[in-house]
């Protein structure tokens, strides 16, 4: 069975097909190669965890790149910079919400991180934020502390991956 066939639309995240990943720039970046190797190793979606998922969704990044002028990454870079400056604020909101037991703020902040991360293609951050968003609706917020720490660490990895990818 081909890896492409096992990545169904019912997955809560999108890694893209092998064919899409093989349409690399003339000089592939580290993130491109990581996407391919992780996709091939983890072709069974049930085996993919936030830690093993690709750090960057190249399709999402290319969608942002396409919104800019041809041959110019200015728009993409502006969006990524906004993301990199905003997510630490949202993580701080999560901590504030946890300290004050403000479930509504916690859910909203996790939702914002999830959406922003999906837009810029930071898969691991999106998956963790989605898990936090869902769990915060029913679980005690104190029970989410270790996952919030995972989210912070994932953001640091995503920031590094974006900076490497964009050069």
Q: pLDDT at position 75, please?
A: 93
Q: How many domains does the chain have?
A: 1
Residue 15 covered by a domain: no
Q: pLDDT at position 55, please?
A: 80
Q: pLDDT at position 54, please?
A: 56
Q: Which of 151, 139, 148, 152 is nearest to 103 (CA)?
A: 139
Residue 83 covered by a domain: yes
pLDDT in tens, 34-73: 454 444 333 343 343 444 445 899 899 999 999 988 778 9
Do the beta carbons of residue 156 and residue 87 sit within 8 Å? no
Residues 54, 127, 72, 39: what is their CA dihedral angle, to the nearest 10 degrees? 20
CA–CA separation, 69 vs 133, rounded Å? Answer: 35
Residue 45 covered by a domain: no
Residue 146 covered by a domain: yes
**Tokens (6 digits) for 98:** 């946890």
CA–CA separation, 94 vs 89, rounded Å? Answer: 9
133: domain range? 51-166
Residue 67 covered by a domain: yes
- Mean pLDDT, contiguous 10-residue spans, the chain (167 residues): 33 36 43 44 40 72 89 90 98 98 98 97 96 97 97 95 89
Q: Which of 134, 126, 49, 141 is nearest to 87 (CA)?
A: 126
Residue 19 covered by a domain: no
Residue 20 covered by a domain: no
CATH code of the domain covering residue 61: 1.20.120.160
Overall pTM > 0.85: no
Q: pLDDT at position 93, please?
A: 98
First to last CA, the chain: 36
Residue 14 covered by a domain: no
Q: pLDDT at position 79, please?
A: 96
């Amino acid at each position: 069975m081909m890896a492409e066939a096992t990545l169904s639309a019912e997955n809560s995240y999108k890694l893209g097909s092998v064919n899409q990943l093989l349409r690399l720039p003339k000089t592939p970046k580290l993130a491109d190669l990581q996407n391919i190797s992780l996709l091939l190793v983890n072709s069974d979606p049930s085996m993919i965890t936030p830690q093993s998922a690709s750090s960057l969704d190249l399709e999402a990044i290319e969608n942002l790149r396409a919104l800019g002028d041809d041959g110019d990454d200015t728009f993409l870079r502006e969006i990524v910079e906004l993301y990199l400056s905003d997510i630490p604020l949202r993580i701080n909101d999560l901590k504030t919400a946890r300290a004050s037991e403000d479930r509504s703020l916690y859910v909203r902040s996790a939702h914002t991180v999830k959406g922003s991360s999906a837009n810029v293609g930071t898969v691991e951050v999106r998956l963790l934020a989605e898990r936090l968003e869902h769990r915060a609706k029913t679980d005690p917020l104190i029970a989410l502390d270790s996952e919030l720490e995972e989210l912070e660490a994932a953001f640091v990895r995503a920031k590094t991956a974006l900076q490497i990818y964009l050069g």
